[in-house]
Each structure stands twice: as structure tokens, then as C-alpha cells.
Structure 1
Amino acid sequence: MVINENYLLSAGAEIREYSAGTIIFHEGNSPLYFYQIIEGQIKLNNFTEDGKEFIQSIKSEGQCFGEALLFLEKPYPMSATALTHCTVMRLCKENFFSMLDIYPKLYRNVCLSMSDLLYYQYVMLQKNSSQNPADRLIGVMSYLKYNQKKQEPFSFKVPLTRQQLANLTGICVETAIRAIKLMEKNNIVMIKDRKIFY
């Protein structure tokens, strides 16, 4: 959890429910709120001119999203959409900064969250520059597994569909499926009940 919910509630945060597929904010909107997920998954995405979706990241319980844009006077360069039914805390920008002024130690939490986002983007830029689809997929899986207690092979159940993995790495789903089968053959992943373990 980036910021303890009690701080957010005392600063005036409201709890919002979003059903799967609901757009929380659109690319081009002005950032007006700090968002933190209580339950569910959110995707940050864009669409290319030909309508292909590119998922920038997927956020889940305890994570915030779009927070870095609150510090800039620039519109969102992506949209945020509920992947599943979600419960989200939403705090207006003005109250968010007032809360940080009252509790400066919370700046560290926000900085850690933004640093994690930067780390993810560096990893993904490096991996997505590879022409090898397996390298791209391994980049996503390695990042997701990074904070897990168990690091043994096949100890991490990848919480994404093959389509989501493809959209995160900029490859088509058919290529992702072939690459995952090859990764299974090479003992990089294990498939059990159609779930991927890395």
C-alpha cells in the first residue's frame, strides 16, 4: 500500500466502485485525483491509430496509478480502465498535496511508488527493444516476480492472460502463445491448468 488508507480518508478521499471495462480517466484528461486501489485490477493503456491496444502497465491492490502526473501541468498520456470489478480510493489533487504538506513522510512513499514505475519502464524499454518475443515476455514476468518472497523456478503464477502479456509487450497474441509454448519446452515456464508459472 502506497499511502495508508486512514491518511487518505482523513484528507477527504472517497471510495469509488468501478465495474470491469469502466474507464476511470481518458488519455488527454487533466490529472485531478490521486487514485489507490483497494481491490481489483486497473490497466493503463493506449490505442494505436489502427486500433491496436498497448497496455503500459497493470496495477492491483495497494498500488496507485497516475500519481506522477499530479506533479505536472500536463494531460494524461494514457487511459485507465478497470480490468476487473474495482474498489478505488480517490483523493482530489488539492487535498492530496495538502495531506503531503501536513505529513511530509508520505512523500517518501509516493517517491518509492514513482521510482518503482520508473524501474518498470526501464526494464520494459530494454526488453521490448528485443526482436525475440520470449525476451519481451520474460521481462514482464521477471518484473512481476521481482517482489515475491519465493523466487524458485515455477513458484510464481503469472496473473495475466496471454492477450494481456501480448498487449504489454507489443506483440500479437498468436506470437505470445507460440513463444510461451517454446518457453515451456525450454523449462523457462510451466503451464498447469492453462495458467503460466514462472
Structure 2
Amino acid sequence: MITEKLLESYQAARKKYNKGETIFEEGNFPAHYYQIVSGEVKMCNFNDDGKEFVQGFFHDGQSFGEPPLFLERVYPANAIAVTDCEILLVPKTAFLSLIRENAQVSLAIIENLAQRLHYKSVMAAEISSQEPEHRLLKLMDYSITFFKIEKGKDGHRIDLTRQQMADLTGLRVETVIRAIKSMEKKGEIQIIGRKVYR
């Protein structure tokens, strides 16, 4: 989202994380702005029984964990590397200076946070009341818009695993698999090489 060159001019450091490694923990105070160079990160919580609830997945070029930087509050979730990752970290004070001194970057951050808030509002309504197929279609359609997925000859490729779809919709993996098969039969999606196309 923010160019690497600009981040590096504000004290950004590159750090590598291994798959499964915790980047920051729920309850910690934020000290950095994080932007992914390569890899995938998830934000998640665990309940008292150890059950995981995934807040979202983040990919190359995306940032994560910004709200607490502005609110002077602790992280409400953990950030964990889903794959091996390389991430740019900018110290909090340097990042706030970057925002103050670059109006276009500030607007881009606001737009990004607004998109995430809108996504959470939409999905919260879907999860509370809609059938599995409807939830999954809404997730796919929102992903196409949010990630600006370009349409290929077979449609929009949804780069989410069945497990990730389950995590993001509050469904069981088995339910997701059944729903995807049903949607394919109805012609609402295509399955090509185990990948879903909308």
C-alpha cells in the first residue's frame, strides 16, 4: 500500500518470520506499523477452549494491525504468519510522522481502514443470519472487490483455501466443501484444479 522506498525513508526495517511464528500477541501495546513484502498473515483470537477465530487474512503489499497505533490501545488479536513472510516494520513514532507529512498516504490508510470496517459489518450481518451458500458467495464477491481480483477467462479466481473460507464465515470445513459442491452444480461457481472461480 505504501511504497517500500517511502517506508524505508522513515526507518523501516525488514524482518523475516517463519510459518506459524507469532508477529505480535493479543494484549500487547503496538510499537510498529507492519506491511507485508511477501507471504500471508492472519489476525486471530483463541477462546478459553483454544478454539481459533480468524479476523482476517493479509497478503503481499497489505498492512495489518494499524487501529491500535492510532488509539493507544492494545492489540485485540494475534498476528501469525500463515506462510514464511518478509515484513517491513516502521517504528510507531516514525510512522505517525510519515502520516502527518504525506497527505496522500494518510488518505490511503483511511480508505483501507474504511474498507476493512465495511467488510466486517457486511460479514457480521451475513454470519448472524444467512445460510452457508449465501455466506460463501458474499465472502467471494467481497473478496473480488476488496482485493481487486481481475476477471480471467474462467471468472474471478478466489485464492482462499476451504479452511480459510470456513474460518472467515464461521462454518465448518465440511460444510464449506458441501456448499461449494452445491454451488458448482447450480452454476454459481466453477471448480478448476481445486481452485474456485466466481
Alignment deviations for residues 129-185 of structure 1 (CA, whole Å, 9 cap, x no partner): 224111111121111111223288x51222111111101111111111111111111
Stretches of 4+ moved more than 3 A in 1? Answer: none
Partner of 2:31: 32
**DSSP-derived class of the 1:30 partner:** coil
**Structure 2 length normalisation: TM-score?**
0.93
Alpha-carbon distance in structure 2 between the residues aligned to 1:90 and 1:183:
41
Q: Is the 8 A contact 1:39 1:60 kept in 2?
A: yes
Share of identical aligned residues, percent? Answer: 41
Partner residue in 2 for 1:193: 193
Q: Unmatched 5+ residue regions in structure 1? A: none
Report the AA paired with residue 116 of structure 2: L
Q: Give the Cα–Cα distance (whole angstroms) in 1 for the partners of residues 155 and 17 of structure 2.
A: 31
Aligned pair count reads 196
Q: Secondary structure at the match of 1:129?
A: helix
- Residue 65 of structure 1 aligns with an amino acid whose one-letter code is F
- Aligned-partner Cα distance in 2 for 1:136–1:124: 8
1:23 maps to what in 2?
A: 22
Question: How does the TM-score come out when normalised to structure 1?
Answer: 0.93
Aligned to 1:157: 157
CA distance in 2, matches of 1:156, 1:48: 34
2:86 aligns to what? 87
AA partner of residue 126 (structure 2): K
Query: What are structure 2's unaligned runs of at least 5 residues?
Result: none
1:168 and 2:168 matched:
yes
**Residue in structure 2 matched with residue 109 of structure 1 by the alignment:** 108
Q: Is the 8 A contact 2:150 2:156 kept in 1?
A: no
Aligned partner of residue 129 in structure 2, secondary structure = coil
Give 1:69-148 correspondences, 5 Å limit.
69-146=68-145, 147-148=148-149
Aligned equivalents of 2:168 and 2:183: distance in 1? 18
Matching residue's letter, 2:180: I
